[in-house]
Amino acid sequence: MLAWFNSEWPWYVAGPILGLFVPALLSVGNKVFGISSSLSHLCSAIAPGKIEYFRYDWRRAGLWNLLFVAGVLAGGLLSAHLGPQHPIAISDATQILLANWGIHDLSGVAPGEIFSWHALLMLRGFASVVVGGFLVGFGTAYAGGCTSGHAISGLANLQLPSLLAVVGFFAGGLTASWFLLPRLMGGLQ
């Protein structure tokens, strides 16, 4: 049992289990699984109250969501510290590509040369974290949900907008990976 917990769970095991959280949340409290809404509830909780968009009863609308997301963070930390430390598997070709972009520290779950406080002072770090973060937030608000809400909950509810959003997620991801990222990383060192 412990050996199984310590191993990496394949997609065909972890995927269905993650999907089961949709009916679990529905059956427990009529809640729709989603992550990004918590950011809106967080802003509503700490905003001074002058922003109309965030002026609603966040306790009633989103306290459960905030607790769920806090649980996700706690569960991730718990699992990462109790379980074995698997090195991130990165192919040799990708490592060479990253080295050409000046990215050599592959010890964490994200390259420190881009995702760190120090990197924020550099153009590519700022573009990746601040500009990228803004675009993710804008896209999530504009689309009415993020990858978890649309791809897990929305598709399970057979929502056409969610299907269109998921197609857009993959199209945007592929476009960024093949065209935007090489220019961003290669040109902004």
Partner 1 sequence: MSSTNTQFQGCGGEDIGEPRSKPALLPVFCVLGILFGVVLTRSEVLSWF
Considering only residues 39 through 68, tell me which ones interact with partner 1, judged by CB under 8 A.
Answer: 40-41, 44, 53, 56, 60-65, 67-68
The reply on whether position 33 binds partner 1 by CB under 8 A is yes
Q: Which residues contact 160 (CB under 8 A, 6 or more apart)?
A: none
Q: Coil, helix or strand for 3?
A: helix
Question: Do residues 124 and 184 make contact, with C-beta atoms less than 8 angstroms apart?
Answer: yes
What is the smallest separation between the CB atom of 28 and partner 1, expressed in angstroms? 6
State the Cα–Cα distance between residues 18 and 13, nearest whole angstrom: 9
What is the smallest separation between the CB atom of 116 and partner 1, expressed in angstroms? 18
Question: Do residues 114 and 108 make contact, with C-beta atoms less than 8 angstroms apart?
Answer: no
State the Cα–Cα distance between residues 53 and 41, nearest whole angstrom: 11
What is the smallest separation between the CB atom of 141 and partner 1, expressed in angstroms? 5
Judged by CB under 8 A, the chain residues 138 through 167 that form the site for partner 1 are: 140-141, 144-146, 148-150, 152-154, 157, 159, 161-162, 165
- For partner 1, give the closer residue by CB, 28 or 121: 28
Tell me which stretch binds partner 1 (CB under 8 A): 116-124, 128-136, 137-145, 167-175: 137-145
The reply on whether position 125 binds partner 1 by CB under 8 A is no
- For partner 1, give the closer residue by CB, 121 or 160: 160
φ/ψ of residue 153, rounded to 5: -80, -50
- Give the x/- contact pattern for partner 1 in 77-116, rule: CB under 8 A: xxxx--x--x-xxxx--x--------------x-------
Judged by CB under 8 A, the chain residues 3 through 22 that form the site for partner 1 are: 5, 8-11, 13-15, 17-18, 21
> What are the Cα distances from residue 34, in Å, to 19, 153, 154?
12, 7, 10
What is the smallest separation between the CB atom of 133 and partner 1, expressed in angstroms? 15
What is the smallest separation between the CB atom of 187 and partner 1, expressed in angstroms? 22
Give the DSSP letter string of 107-168.
Answer: SSSS-TTTSSTGGGGSHHHHIIIIIHHHHHHHHHHHHTS-HIIIIIIIHHTT-HHHHHHHHH
